[in-house]
Amino acid sequence: AASVKYLTGDGAGIKDFIDKFDTFLFDCDGVLWSGDHVFEGVPETLLLLRSKGKRIVFVTNNSTKSRQDYVKKLAGMGIEAGPDDVFGSSYSAAVYISRILKLPAGKRKVYVIGEAGVEHELASEGVPFVGGTDPSYRRDITPEDFAGLADGSLLDPEVGAVLCGLDFHVNYLKLAHGLQYLRRGARFLATNIDSTLPMHHDIFLGAGSCSVPLANAVGEQPLALGKPSQAMMDAVEGKFQLDRARTCMVGDRLNTDIKFGIEGKLGGTLHVLTGVHSKADWEAEDAVAVPAFYADKLSDLRECA
């Protein structure tokens, strides 16, 4: 841990750091903003990096929003970006399903536990789906549901995968559909398995809260396609022609962002202390990932000559 370089924000260290990279992959929540509050100096810092010719990609595990939703959110915070500058866990899952998983004919549909962001990204990749925000799943389970799920009459025979993101309407009926699809051989996927969702200076249930009940029931973990999954890194690399050695991942979480960058063999990882994890987390003996650099906040990068 002693070798983690501190970017103090007062000169040369920062310039050398910035010069090492052509592309910066930015985690969003905890790095650029907290909830709906953009951190002071962040839009200016991103402008400065762009003025130095750096490419910026926003890489978020938030599955509830599509790339288009992120473009709007970024714009509202004074950060200019297009949909091609954003890579979210829902898009990552959609790309994986359409281009790598290649579900067999007759099994092409995805049963979704998740919000509209997942649906928009599946649709953008031409992947058919059921479930998701369909309001008919937002109710109590009945004795007829149990019977129809057990005999399969309530199931869509074309479902070949179950994809779990964060679903603010998760309930027994949705999970029961997921379980029956999995029991009949559907692939088990998750956009991300973040245990917690930081909001209002507290924590709430993250996307893992939707897949863990199913994982518990089937005794199998989902393939998670958000950070730190290397399926996501491969998709980012393919889309942006990344030179990994000249790319730096910037994040606030060690088990998602920093691990993502280290396992992806990027040239660098920068941990900023404005989010979930603190310095003590990588100083600990059993740290899940140790960054190459750390800074108190992203806007300290502005202090380069």
* Interaction of residue 167 with ligand PLP, rule CB under 6 A: no
Nearest C-alpha neighbor of 133 from the set 168, 107, 109: 168
Closest to ligand PLP by CB, 207 vs 304, is: 207
Handedness of CA 200, 226, 88, 44 (dihedral sign): positive
Minimum CB separation from ligand PLP for residue 54, in Å?
Answer: 19
Which residues in 19-48 contact Ca ion (CB under 5 A)?
27, 29-30
- Containing 134, the helix (H) or strand (E) segment is none
Considering 19, 22, 202, 252, which one is annotated as catalytic?
22
Question: Which does residue 166 bind out of Ca ion, ligand PLP, none, counting CB within 5 to 8 angstroms by kind?
Answer: ligand PLP
Phi first, then psi: give them for residue 276, nearest 5 degrees. Answer: -70, -50
Instruction: Look at the block and give the residue holding tokens 């983690």.
Output: 4
Contact string (CB under 6 A) for ligand PLP, positions 176-205, x = contact: ------------------x--x--------
Give the DSSP letter string of 63-103: TTS-HHHHHHHHHHTT----GGGEEEHHHHHHHIIIIII-P
Lookup: tokens for 305: 């000559």
- Interaction residues for ligand PLP, span 19-48 (CB under 6 A): 27-30
Q: Specify the DSSP class assigned to residue 276.
A: S
Choose the contact partner of 69 out of Ca ion, ligand PLP, none; CB within 5 to 8 A by kind: none
Q: Quick check: is 22 catalytic? A: yes
Between 29 and 121, CB nearer to Ca ion:
29
Query: Cα separation of 77 and 162, whole Å?
Result: 34
* Pairing status of strand 293-295 against strand 5-6: parallel
Residue 264 lies near ligand PLP (rule: CB under 6 A): no
Nearer to ligand PLP, 62 or 247 (CB): 62
Site for ligand PLP in 56-95 (CB under 6 A): 60-62, 64
Contact characters 202-231, ligand PLP, x per CB under 6 A:
-----x------------------------
Annotated active-site positions, please?
22
